[in-house]
Structure 1
Amino acid sequence: MLLYSSVGKLSAATCSGVAKNITLAIVLPRYNTAYPWAWPRVGPAIDLAIKRINHDPNLLPGYSLCYVFESSEDDSGYCSDSIAPLVAIDLKFTHNPSAFIGPGCHYTCAPVGRFTSHWKVPMITAGASAYGFQEQKTTYSFLTRTGPTAKKLGEFAVHVHRFFSWTKQALMIYDDKKSDNRHCYFTTEGLFYELQKDNITLIHLPFQENAEDLDYQQLVQMIRMTGRKTTMQAGIAFLLPKRGEGGKEGKNELKKGKEEEIWRHFPRTVQTKNLTLAVVLPRYNTAYPWAWPRVGPAIDLAFEKINQDPNLLRGYILHYVFESSEDDTGNCSDSIAPLVAVDLKFAHNPSAFIGPGCDYTSAPVARFTSHWKVPLITAAASANGFYQQKTTYSFMTRTGPTQNKLGEFLIHLHQFFNWNRHALLVYVDEKIDDRPCYFVAEGVYEQLKTVNISVLDTVFQEKEGNVDFHHLLQQIKSKGRSE
């Protein structure tokens, strides 16, 4: 985890001791000028603007404008969707700013924008052009974007199609694994959804870009056959995300009153102190093994036994506060879980967290609890990434089985039978919930690579009606030593 500088050292604008302070929190890349909104590019303009406002008696009379700054970069100089929300939360609760400026990049704006809207604090950015920010007006209700957006580009493409009476659009799609701001990816997303809204047929062709036997001539011929016009971005069109994947925007806003706080009190004496645990779990959906109806009674019994035993936690009374990590559809929500976790932290300052459970909800919450140095215990979070990021999730304890252990078992199996190749069928996983099968395969895949076992994959589109499964099985037989 990046060790960022203290806020005080970066408070470049000085507030007057006479006037009241209006503090702005700025979260931007500190050094990397490849970003148009990097601090070396926009910092001087912000300084000049604040100085002019503070020196003009007709602007903000009785107030002095100042700012505090934190970097959203990681060690490699890229925007970090884990660091940005951490520093934003720190700035919120140490300086209580009146507004946020930044962060700029899509994946950093998404979590910070959800928090600022939850706090009802305005956030202004020149970035965040992804289509998802436009759609989720409730989730990002306090977000103002001053720059161009992918939606406007999509609307322009719609007008062009109407002018020329085009009704079909062919796109080449590939697996974009770039982890930074992905300009072309989100540009294509805006085109895709706006054209789709206008009833323009979009046809796509999945292929593996780095495949040895890739026939580009055949791909181009298929495009000519299926689409009247081809849109290419930076030489190739990008994989179009599921709605809400850009920054992981969703329909998961926290509704007041629905996720009310639940306290559990037990008999206590005047001499006892409270020891609070924060529980963040799905409230109703018992399809999750860690859902509240399944584990809540056990927690109640455990707390009752501890509090009634004078030899356990002498001088303390154990109790908990609960919030749900579910969205309106009953699924784990990676936007709601961190919101309620932050609320519980600063409202009750718990000594530990229990949950959330699901992989996508555990990841952001565990990053926060490790940053706060507060233990988090979960029966799930089995994905391989939690095992590898020991620093990021340093205060996390997993009590259940993990996928890296499954991968280690398969390593022993391969070594016992002297297997050195492994063939996998890979498909587009469109499941937006916990994806247990996906993470099981990931654990196997990543662990096998650690002992130089070759892992070969064959890409196909499962939902396409013309999938030749016989051909796929033949490929597996030819690529893998054993089925």
Structure 2
Amino acid sequence: MVEPAIEEAIVEVEKRGLLPFHGLNVTKYNTNCDAIRAPVAAFHFMNDGGHAFFGPVCDYSLAAVARYAPSWDLPVVSPGGLAQDFRDKEKEYQTLTRMGMAFDSMTRFLLAAIAHYRWPKLKLLYDPDGQKEISERFCFLVASAIIKEIKTKRKDMKGDYKQLTKDSSTYAKILREDVGVKYSEKLDTWGPLFSSPEKLDAWGPLFSSPEKLDAWRPLFSSPEKLDAWGPLFQVQRSYMHGGRCFQVQRS
């Protein structure tokens, strides 16, 4: 991803004569998005007398190289670095400059939309293999960025995230145990039915005698029948990001 841009830049520099009496030598390494190969390549580059890093692009490779670069006082310029962790310019990534998009702006936009609709609680269920053509564990990086922003900067929200498994039979259990009542609530549409003493009294005849109470019992006589009432009292709406990355369970 970086190599074509570097080649075009060298052609343009030579055409404009921006660096007379200087030569530009480019050393190329393929880190394969590997956190081990990347710093090894960086050490080889240092031994060859390198002056600047352009890339890596992949977050995992970039993190490793950008942590060593300040020790060598070398700049790192990359179109990658999506994760929010790269904002740390004081302790780890002092010489890193990111030139491309990042999760920072996406997170701020998404949380602004959620705040607009007054959804104070989020549970992100993410696909571990979603968007892997972009980056390994891409959806994890997205989800962790959103939740980190909530926990560190948004006192008006609470949130958490969980990885989905490939076994879809576990989804009902996840919704029941990980989402559950903690991230859901009663529908506001029931409120008007009980909003005044007069409306409460109107319900009285339905429960005014043991016989009438008994008439209601079959509706709640088993776990299966109780589950059937669930959709009337809870709301769990899903919103997809990036096609198949994660679902937001909101209240």
Q: Which category of TM-score, normalised to the shorter sequence, fits these structures?
A: 0.5 to 0.7
Paired position in structure 1 for 2:75: 122
Paired position in structure 2 for 1:108: 61
Whose relative contact order is higher, 1 or 2, with alpha carbons under 8 Å and at least 6 apart? 2
Q: Secondary structure at the match of 1:68?
A: coil
Aligned 1:415-434 pairs, distance under 5 A: none
Kept in 2: contact 1:54–1:64 (CA 8 A): no
Which residue, 44, 48, 53 being the options, matches 2:13? Answer: 53
Instruction: Tell me: CA distance 1:220–1:212, structure 2 relative to 1, closer, same or farther (3 Å).
Output: closer
Structure with max Cα Rg: 2
Aligned 1:264-275 pairs, distance under 5 A: none
Deviation at 1:92, TM superposition (A): 0.9
Instruction: Tell me: CA distance 1:181–1:44, structure 2 relative to 1, closer, same or farther (3 Å).
Output: same
Aligned 1:22-171 pairs, distance under 5 A: 37=1, 42-57=2-17, 59-73=18-32, 79-94=33-48, 96-171=49-124
Paired position in structure 2 for 1:320: none
Identity of aligned residues (%): 24
Paired position in structure 2 for 1:185: 140
Deviation at 1:174, TM superposition (A): 7.1
AA partner of residue 57 (structure 2): G
Paired position in structure 2 for 1:198: 154
Instruction: Tell me: CA distance 1:203–1:50, structure 2 relative to 1, closer, same or farther (3 Å).
Output: closer
RMSD: 3.0
Are 2:162 and 1:209 aligned? no
Q: Secondary structure at the match of 2:28?
A: strand
Are 2:190 and 1:235 aligned? no
Separation (CA, whole Å) in 2 of partners of 1:120 and 1:114: 11
Deviation at 1:146, TM superposition (A): 0.7
Separation (CA, whole Å) in 1 of partners of 2:166 and 2:12: 54
Instruction: Tell me: CA distance 1:113–1:167, structure 2 relative to 1, closer, same or farther (3 Å).
Output: same
Instruction: Tell me: CA distance 1:98–1:219, structure 2 relative to 1, closer, same or farther (3 Å).
Output: same
AA partner of residue 111 (structure 1): A
Greater shift, 143-152 or 62-71, is seen at 62-71
AA partner of residue 185 (structure 1): F
Instruction: Tell me: CA distance 1:224–1:98, structure 2 relative to 1, closer, same or farther (3 Å).
Output: same
Unaligned runs of 5+ in 1: 1-36, 74-78, 239-483
Separation (CA, whole Å) in 1 of partners of 2:238 and 2:123: 5
Separation (CA, whole Å) in 2 of partners of 1:229 and 1:168: 12
Separation (CA, whole Å) in 2 of partners of 1:174 and 1:80: 21
Instruction: Tell me: CA distance 1:156–1:91, structure 2 relative to 1, closer, same or farther (3 Å).
Output: same
User: TM-score by structure 2 length?
Assistant: 0.64
Separation (CA, whole Å) in 1 of partners of 2:240 and 2:180: 13
Separation (CA, whole Å) in 2 of partners of 1:207 and 1:125: 29
Kept in 2: contact 1:99–1:121 (CA 8 A): yes
Separation (CA, whole Å) in 2 of partners of 1:210 and 1:51: 48
Deviation at 1:143, TM superposition (A): 0.5
Instruction: Tell me: CA distance 1:101–1:170, structure 2 relative to 1, closer, same or farther (3 Å).
Output: same
Instruction: Tell me: CA distance 1:229–1:208, structure 2 relative to 1, closer, same or farther (3 Å).
Output: closer
Aligned residue pair count: 188
Instruction: Tell me: CA distance 1:66–1:168, structure 2 relative to 1, closer, same or farther (3 Å).
Output: same
Kept in 2: contact 1:54–1:65 (CA 8 A): no
Aligned 1:285-296 pairs, distance under 5 A: none
Q: Secondary structure at the match of 1:144?
A: strand
Higher helix share: 2
Kept in 2: contact 1:126–1:145 (CA 8 A): yes
Kept in 1: contact 2:128–2:139 (CA 8 A): no
AA partner of residue 40 (structure 2): L
